[in-house]
Structure 1
Amino acid sequence: MVRVIAEKIGASMVILEHRYFGKSIPVDNLTTENMKYLTLENSLKDLTYFARTVELPFVKDASRGSTAVDVPWVMVGGSYAGALAAWTATLFSGTFWAYYASSATVHNLVDFWQYWTPIQENMPQDCRGVATTLIDHIDNILTYGTEQNVTHLKARFGFPAKLCNDDFMTALADGAYSWVDRYFYKEVGDEYPRSVFLVWCDYLTSNHTKDSAIAPADVEAALNGYVRWWKELGRSDARQSLGCSPDQTDYQCFASSSDNPKKLDTSLSNADDISFMWQVCSWPFEDWVTGSPPGIPTIVSRYITVDYKIKDCASLFPTGPNGQTYGIAKGLTPDIVNDYTGDWTTVNTSRLIYVNGEADPFREITVSADSRPGGPLKDTPEVPVKIVPHGFHASDLLIPEGEANEGVKKVQEEVLAQLVEWVGEWPGGSLPQ
């Protein structure tokens, strides 16, 4: 989509690497004390400084500047990068001429169980019914079952009894988490394999009658399906995503307990993962994706809690030689980020276009969240808000998504038309051809 925007407005396309990611790292290793330069304020100022001062080597007209002061720059981003675009529009208004924020995660909170709301609304409903009932069933065994019941349950999936319940259920949640990897263009035709999420659903519902409530016999059938999915597909995918070697047992791979210490890799080769977690733990974004609260249907276990997730911060960022530590350990919360950025508001903002997907799991921390004070942000001429029907995470940024889905295509065309119009309103004189 960025390439098409550049073609439509007659622009060059510049991709800026975020500090502490890729090769843009100012330190030799990623110890806690060396992470101090990775702050939200610094990251935003990188963007504004670059836009205002860069001398681009490919500019044809040497007599004319090409900074955001000289010509109308358009800032484009999706997900966190979309949030950076929206925050730049609010905090450093006037730096860029226009902003396009796709699936922009502008609101931050501690317990992000609402991640599952758009998924449950848009997933196959027979799968939703089976999955929520099955997760309650498994959680009840872990909570109220005998030691023998729990041992037998874990053994069915090939896990030892000593694996903690939260580690056990986190491993099994891989199928549900795979929703975020769905794309329209991969689900039309036979070119790509069936999505991991839908395959997971297939295993859970293979013996369930769609037009009836799930019965006890169906729960056992669904559990058998879950076991088959894990052994045939889920286990190998989960081990691979964690980088577990073939000589590691499943306990060594999935256990997070103190009797299974894992070597901390602070080398630059691991920069993207560590730097992302620093943002989560220290600014702090948090946004821990957990099981839904009691009384609200959930497709992942309620054993997946904030306390369980937050342990990663202490493991990744041990106290430095001079007491250096991460933000959560200092008592900071996402409120400090929301207060700084303006949160869900759009004060002092114009020529900013938001696009969000109905089925995006991050929808509830975007301006289109149902839980946003006052409801989802309304579409206005100054700040248009476009919704992709049944759209996934940043679907609109991929041209193949529009080629595969009319809803995406319509939104993409609207975005392009709006950006062309805004660039045409640039007051700084004629633009170089």
Structure 2
Amino acid sequence: MHVSSVLVTAVAAFAGFTAAQVGPLGENGRPTNYTAYNFTQLIDHFPHSARYKPNDNGTFTQRYFFDPTYYKPGGPVFLYIGGETSGESRFSNLQTGIVQILMSATNGLGVILENRYYGESWPFENSTTDNLRYLTNEQTIADNAYFAQHATFPNVPGGDNLTAPGTPWILYGGSLAGAETAFSVVQYGDILWGGIAASGVVHAVHGYPEWYNPIQENGPQDCITRINKIIDKIDHLILTNNTEAIQKVKEIFGLGALSSLGDFAMTIAFPIGGPMNYPTYTWQELNWYPAYDNPDFFDFCNNITDLNAPANITAVDTQLSNYTNGSAWTGLGAYANYVKEVILPTCPSADLIGTTTAGCFSTQNETFYADPTNSAARSYLYSTCTELGAYQLPQPYGTPSLLSRAIDLDYTQQWCTWAFPPGPLSPQAVPSPDGPDLTWYNKYGGFDISAPRLALIDGGSDVWRDVCYHGHNASRPRHGENQMLITGAGHHWDSYGILNVSAEPDFIRAAHEWEIRRVETWLKEWDETKGSRRTKRDEL
């Protein structure tokens, strides 16, 4: 039986380690699971900062996972930044994705560090506004540096002495974790040897209508045009305060119970990507590799443009023509039918559509948002409200829009106000009613972020591109060996792999080969200079 050299290497390396680190091997020769280890992390890395008063000198348990199957003494450590999800959700990056690719190429050790306030890495038992004051980018990136200086890896040869800066630590992260990777390398470049920021959202803005631009430009244009025209007609009714017609539109979509026009606008945008959340897969979830691809967006468009739609569906297109000077709402029946058939069933009962019950569509419930139970959604909302911003918005009247103009900054801001009321300890932790303080986020460089061994890679068709390094609003051209734009790619598509770089599509293979070259160049530089990097920073 023929076995590839990659699999032979993986199996041989695995034989030297106990199952304490990694689970059993799958058919592809890679681990199917990883053991969670606990790291004692500081709650507050800045004990004299007024931003975190009253300051807390305590610690919390932060989880990490590692894969030593390719490691050989002298190899680098690759730290995958967990971002806004659990550590387990990132396992594929060690198994077949970008970290596996880099480990294999360099005899490295792969590690996933779960972000504070996600997964099971909670500093406090609940997420009151006071307790969330330590959920900031500067605390998160300080976690990365502190972890690199103190982490141990049981049963790995020399695993008690692989700390930075004595060992080359190279970070990787995608999306928010990509930004955290970039910020970490900028702020702690004397500890962390390098990093790759994939689709790193490095530039914070308050409102972000550009989220929909790649869909406008690259989606099937007959579908896109129909949606734009339907949205324009809906917004005309809203602008003219035609309450009778507006109610009929809501009922056509099965959403007559929604009292908020913003909630209605968000719900019908779910197949495209509603502001902040959506229950099904969208343009953002498209992927180059079928195992990770989710084509719901194209199923949605195929429904809207179906030339053979049944008569009971197409008849809906003229039901509201009398409100638009006889103009048909082409595609309305198919659009509404898709929402009723695919989106509405995520709510457990039609009687609950107008409520904040899980899976349903109202957001108008202050008590619901103020629930301090620890959750990833609450953590991400807090970061959005305080530092990140990028509230998804429609285009202005006169410009085609996939999202109704019923959505505005205030619609998202109300969630911030409801979710994070003042507590007794830290009034400075309460989000401003005027929106996030973007200076905390953009202080690392924004569009102009740079560091000697920081690579920035983005997707040309990513909905987040315009807050990434290659955003269209960047002030200077993007040149240099440490940057790459993958034409036609989506959100951190380079993070996915198939255990055979040579068999990947050309544009993904080129990205992975470039990343390998960047890392190998940095490691060569390490070999030439490592004698000068043997001290630790006192403050961490």
Q: TM-score, normalised by structure 1?
A: 0.86
More strand by share: 2
* 1:16-74, Cα deviation, whole Å (9 max, x unpaired): 11111111111111111111222221111111111122233234137x83112122111
Instruction: Quickly say closer, same or farther: Cα 1:206–1:218, change in 2 above 3 A.
Output: farther
Distance 1:218 1:58, change over 3 A: farther
> Once the 2 structures are TM-superposed, how far is the Cα of residue 219 of structure 1 from its aligned partner?
4.6
Alpha carbons of structure 1 residues 149 and 106: separation in structure 2 relative to 1, 3 Å: same
Question: How far apart, in 2, do the equivalents of 1:323 and 1:51 lie?
Answer: 30
What is the SS of the residue equivalent to 1:127? helix
Give the match's secondary structure for 2:206. coil
One of 408, 418, 422 as aligned partner of 2:518: 418
What is the distance in 1 between the residues matched to 2:433 and 2:304?
43
| Equivalent pairs, count | 404
Say what the alpha-carbon RMSD is for the aligned residues. 2.7
Give the corresponding residue for 1:222: 331
Aligned to 1:346: 449
Instruction: Between 349-358 and 104-113, report the one with greater CA deviation.
Output: 349-358
Task: Could you tell me which runs of 5 or more consecutive residues in structure 1 were left unpaired when the two chains were aligned.
Answer: 209-213, 240-244
Say which SS state the counterpart of residue 134 (structure 2) adopts.
coil
Q: How much has 1:93 moved relative to structure 2?
A: 1.6
- The structure-2 alpha-carbon separation of the partners of 1:126 and 1:114, relative to structure 1 and needing over 3 Å to count, comes to same
> SS at 1:254's partner residue?
coil
Q: Conserved in 1, the CA contact under 8 Å of 2:367 and 2:418? A: no
Structure 1 residues 318, 8: closer, same or farther in 2, change over 3 A? Answer: same
Unaligned runs of at least 5 residues, structure 2: 1-97, 274-281, 309-316, 532-540
1:5 counterpart = 2:102: yes
Equivalent pair of 1:113/1:289 in contact (CA under 8 Å): yes
SS at match of 1:220: coil
Residues 262 and 346 (structure 1), Cα distance of their counterparts in 2 relative to 1, 3 Å cut: closer
Identity %: 25
Higher relative contact order (CA 8 A, sep 6+): 1
Q: Distance in 1 between matches of 2:373 and 2:441?
A: 31
What letter corresponds to residue 396 of structure 1 in structure 2? D
For 2:521, give the aligned amino acid.
E
Q: Which residue of 1 aligns with 2:483?
A: 385
Q: Summarize the alignment of residues 205-354 of structure 1 with structure 2, pairs less than 5 Å apart.
A: 205-207=305-307, 219-237=328-346, 239=347, 245-246=348-349, 249-252=352-355, 253-257=360-364, 262=368, 264-268=370-374, 271-282=375-386, 284-322=387-425, 324=427, 326-329=429-432, 333-347=436-450, 349-354=451-456
Tell me if 1:110 matches 2:110: no
In structure 2, the residue corresponding to 1:76 is in which secondary structure?
strand
Structure with greater helix share of residues:
1
Distance in 1 between residues matched to 2:124 and 2:292, nearest whole Å: 41
CA contact (8 A) 1:389 1:408 kept: no
After superposition, the Cα gap between the structure-2 partners of 1:404 and 1:88, relative to the gap in structure 1 and judged at 3 Å, is same
Tell me, yes or no, if the aligned pair for 2:285 and 2:294 is still in contact at 8 Å. no
Other structure's SS at 2:342 match = helix
* CA-CA distance at 1:105 after TM superposition: 0.3
1:160 corresponds in structure 2 to 256
SS across alignment from 1:174: coil
Letter in 1 for 2:240: Y
2:154 pairs with 1:57:
yes
Map Cα deviations across residues 133-167 of structure 1 (whole Å, 9 max, x no partner): 12111211232263321221111112226622111
Partner of residue 398, structure 1:
496
**Helix, strand or coil at the partner of 1:111:** strand
> How many angstroms does 1:108 deviate by?
0.3
Q: Structure 1 residue 415: deviation in Å?
A: 1.0
Could you tell me how far apart the structure 2 residues matched to 1:235 and 1:332 are? Answer: 31
CA distance in 2, matches of 1:76, 1:278: 24
Q: Does 1:368 align with 2:470?
A: yes
Q: Distance in 1 between matches of 2:169 and 2:430?
A: 34
**1:211 corresponds to which residue?**
none
Deviation, structure 1 residue 356? 0.4
Q: Helix, strand or coil: the match of 2:520? A: helix
CA contact 2:391–2:409 (8 Å) conserved in 1: yes
Aligned residue number for residue 175 of structure 1 = 271
Deviation at 1:293, TM superposition (A): 2.1
Residue 242 of structure 1 corresponds to which residue in structure 2?
Answer: none
TM-score of the superposed pair, with normalisation by structure 2 = 0.70
Verify: 1:87 aligned to 2:190, yes or no. no
Task: Please state whether the residue corresponding to 2:484 is helix, strand or coil.
Answer: strand
Conservation of the 8 A alpha-carbon contact between 1:133 and 1:219:
no
Distance 1:319 1:175 in 2: 35
Question: Does the Cα contact within 8 Å between 1:106 and 1:344 map onto a contact in 2?
Answer: yes
Tell me whether 1:358 sits opposite 2:465 in the alignment: no
